[in-house]
Amino acid sequence: MAVFSTLPAANPALEPAASPRPANLLRLWHLTSLDAPTVAVTWCLAFAHVVEVRLPLWLPIVLGLAAWVFYIGDRLLDARKALRLSLSAPLQARHRFHWKHRRLFLPVAIAAGLAGLAMVLYFMPAAARPRNTLLTAAALAYLSSVHAPSGLPRLLRALHLPKELLVGLIFTAACALPVWSRMSSGRLAFLPVFLVFSALAWLNCEAIETWESAPAWLRHPARITPLSILLAAASLALAGPAMLLHQPRSAALLTAAGVSSLAIALLDRRQRRIDTMDPITLRAAADLVLLTPLALFFLP
């Protein structure tokens, strides 16, 4: 266990500054793994708003807690794995931050997980538990397989599904399931929204993976910008028919997804310039642009 007690020398540029300026708050939002829960709750509430489904208060709280626990666990396991392989193994700032403060993150994650479980057992109807349990099992299976020595299960390896795509699908399904299960009609019309946001979640993961593989990615043709523009075009193309079918909220949500895609393209172009953003700010900005659905709550 002694190998886990030492971290590679920290880069001062990767440490959060003490000043409470907005940029530093954004960095702290990312380093504490609060970005993913924020996006999950925002998407879930936006989906509910679009299809006019009222969600009980406890449900988005449980979703946020579950996402937070998942990401804390993933980052601690990533850091542990890297340090086990080599004391000089490269770690992203979020992994370094979590490992440095693991004595705080671990009990907080356990407490958050227990609180979420208690709310599920108390508030969730028994009939709804099997489908939610299935989704939770899928997320846990992914997490355990990623950090297992053998990697992803043989079936997933045979299908050649990238882990970024799996994360995008599981994340969006977790946000959409509470809404989907409460819809009495219109599920087919909701399907394009789900597919677009699954693609957006995948694009976010793919962009981050590409940026963090620098400088090797600079030797290859740009791919994130074209993919982002393609997804933005698809989102806007689907927004038109939604408006014609008198679904203004769906059209607005699809437009918000298109704006997020274009924002990722702008971040990618900025990253390819000489004056690139620092890794923490870039990673946080990639999640921040996923919060465009918040604009829906200001529309009639």
Residue 91: domain span? 23-298
Q: Quote the crossing angle between the two packed helices 102-123 and 93-100, to the nearest 10°.
A: 90
What is the distance of C-alpha 48 from the center of its chain?
Answer: 18
Burial of 65 (0-12, 13-18, 19+ CB in 10 A): buried
Residue with tokens 């028994």: 126
Residue with tokens 């918000």: 256
Is 227 within the bounds of a domain? yes
Cα–Cα distance measured from residue 79 to residue 141, given in angstroms and rounded to the nearest whole number: 19
Q: Write down the pLDDT at residue 10.
A: 47
Is 249 within the bounds of a domain? yes
* Domains in the chain, number: 1
| Total-model pTM | 0.84
| C-alpha distance from residue 203 to each of 19, 260, 296 (Å) | 32, 10, 22
Is 224 within the bounds of a domain? yes
Is 155 within the bounds of a domain? yes
Q: Write down the pLDDT at residue 222.
A: 76
Is 232 within the bounds of a domain? yes
Q: Write down the pLDDT at residue 245.
A: 81
Q: Write down the pLDDT at residue 137.
A: 57
Is 142 within the bounds of a domain? yes
Is 4 within the bounds of a domain? no
User: Which residues in 92-104 are b (16+ Cβ under 10 Å) and which e?
Assistant: bbbbbbbbeebee
User: Which residues in 238-265 are b (16+ Cβ under 10 Å) and which e?
Assistant: bbeebeeeebebbbbbbbbbbbbbbbbb
Is 27 within the bounds of a domain? yes
Answer yes or no: are the C-beta atoms of 287 and 255 closer than 8 Å.
Answer: no
Q: What is the pLDDT along the chain (300 residues), one digit of tens a residue?
A: 333 333 444 444 444 444 457 678 899 999 999 999 999 999 999 999 999 999 999 999 999 999 999 999 989 988 888 777 765 556 788 989 999 999 999 999 999 999 988 988 888 887 776 666 655 655 555 555 555 555 445 545 545 567 788 888 889 998 998 899 888 888 888 999 999 999 999 999 999 988 887 654 454 557 899 999 999 999 999 999 988 888 899 999 999 999 999 999 999 988 877 556 788 899 999 999 999 999 998 876
Answer yes or no: are the C-beta atoms of 162 and 201 closer than 8 Å.
Answer: no
